[in-house]
């Protein structure tokens, strides 16, 4: 069964170019497996993604569409990395923002970079976070930076 599933999701989508009355047992099994795979793909999607994928006729089509929607092509990924890197480099704590709000926002930027394959070591992240704090945090920032440099 696994070999058939691999075949279903391989290079060529299943397209049985015969009248359904002429299908062989193998044609029926392949079609059924494709429907089964497509059904599982559809069930795993949120409503928005499903609405964009539901017209796909084969499991391979659906799988490729999901990948395109979530990862994009190489150029899209490069743009996402560039934007996330700029967000990391430019992040600053906003006036009136609590430390929790800033920490959540900062963590989201670091996580986004990590998902895209750009990882920073903990020392770099700590130093960037401390440098992103406003001047009212200077004393605490200096102490934190000393600890980060020592560790």
Summarised one tens digit per residue, pLDDT across range 18-67 is 777 887 888 788 777 888 888 888 888 888 888 888 888 888 888 888 88
How many structural domains comprise the chain?
2
Residue 151 C-beta-side C-alpha neighbours within 13 Å? 13
Could you list the residue range(s) of the whole structural domain that residue 61 is in? 2-71
- Label residue 85 by pLDDT band (50, 70, 90): very high
112 and 140 belong to one structural domain: yes
The answer for residues whose C-beta is within 8 angstroms of residue 105's C-beta and 6 or more apart is: 91, 97
DSSP conformational letter for 136: G
Are 22 and 67 part of one and the same domain?
A: yes
Residues 78 and 143 in one domain: yes
Same domain, 81 and 146: yes
Q: pLDDT (tens digit, 9 = 90+) per residue, 91-135? A: 999 999 998 999 999 999 999 898 888 888 888 998 898 889 887
Yes or no: say if 116 and 80 are a contact pair by the CB < 8 Å rule. Answer: yes
**Boundary residue ending a domain (71, 100, 119):** 71
Confidence (pLDDT) at 142: 57
Are 67 and 78 found together in one domain?
Answer: no
């Amino acid at each position: 069964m696994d070999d058939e599933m691999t075949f279903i999701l391989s290079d060529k989508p299943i397209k049985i170019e015969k009248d359904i009355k002429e299908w062989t047992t193998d044609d029926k099994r392949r079609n059924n497996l494709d429907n089964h795979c497509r059904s599982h793909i559809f069930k795993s999607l949120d409503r928005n993604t499903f609405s964009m994928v539901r017209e796909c006729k084969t499991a391979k089509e659906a799988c490729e569409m999901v990948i395109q929607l979530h990862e994009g092509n190489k150029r899209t990924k490069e743009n996402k990395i560039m934007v996330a890197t700029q967000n990391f480099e430019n992040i600053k704590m906003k006036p009136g923002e609590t430390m929790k709000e800033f920490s959540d926002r900062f963590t989201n930027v670091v996580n986004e970079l990590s998902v895209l394959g750009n990882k920073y070591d903990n020392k770099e992240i700590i130093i960037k976070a401390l440098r992103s704090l406003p001047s009212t945090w200077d004393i605490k920032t200096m102490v934190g930076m000393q600890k980060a440099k020592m560790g």
